[in-house]
Amino acid sequence: MRIISGTRRGKKLFAPKNDRIRPTSDRAREALFNILESMLPAPLSEYDFLDVFAGTGAIGLEAASRGARSVTFIDIDLELVKKNAAACRLPKLSYIQKDVRRLPPAARQFNLVFMDAPYNMELSVLTLSKLFEKGWLTDDAIIIVETAKMELLEMPPGLKISRAKAYFYGAARFTFVRVDPEYLKVR
């Protein structure tokens, strides 16, 4: 596992030697960032990136290496994230050690979010709801949700799937989600 592109391109990352964490593969990560680069209305340097269920931190570190304005990691255990971050020596990183089921109200908002909950545990919808309800998302936020290929992802109130197409890589599916502007009008 390594950083694919940017200022830390090729930097090897520590990966777990157990099955407790399931990192997004290099191939899937590269494809994800290629999709993002083609669809984002502004350069990555204009995005505050939130990596939820950060695991190894590979997605957030990739965003930082590619120039994200800031990157924040949320995970119940940040040991591996911090080990990889220290090895990469990237600026503008912050950490929140928290169970996402108990997220507090946001101290700040994010306009680009990646979340990769443990597969088939029904945490994705709950986490999307918490991020929206607790004010973690800007009104124009883009949220990428990684789930198991066959896992159903229902949208909680206030959010909607933003692209008709889901992207599949191995056992993973990437779904792009946005804040629903119609919901904001009546809120």
Q: Which two tokens stand for residue 78?
A: 């940040």
Six-digit token string for 111: 């306009």
The domain locations on the chain are: 27-146+161-186
pLDDT at residue 113 is higher than 80: yes
Percent of the chain with pLDDT over 90: 64
**Residue 45's pLDDT band (cuts 50, 70, 90):** very high
* Residues contacting residue 150 through CB under 8 Å, at least 6 positions apart: none
Task: Identify whether the C-beta of residue 51 lies closer than 8 Å to the C-beta of residue 73.
Answer: yes
Stated pTM of the model: 0.92
Per-residue model confidence as pLDDT tens digits over 49-93: 999 999 999 999 999 999 999 999 999 999 999 999 999 999 899
User: Is the torsion defined by CA of 74, 80, 63, 40 positive or negative?
Assistant: negative
Considering only the C-alpha atoms of the chain, give the largest distance between any 2 of them, rounded to a whole number of Å. Answer: 48
The count of C-alpha atoms lying within 13 angstroms of the C-alpha of 70, restricted to the half-sphere facing its C-beta, is 11
Q: What is the pLDDT of residues 100-109, one digit of tens each?
A: 999 999 999 9
Q: How far apart are the first and last CA of the chain?
A: 43
Task: Domain 27-146+161-186: give its CATH superfamily.
Answer: Vaccinia Virus protein VP39 (3.40.50.150)
Q: How many CA atoms lie within 13 A of 84 on its CB side?
A: 28
Q: Report H helices in 23-161.
A: 26-39, 58-65, 79-88, 123-133
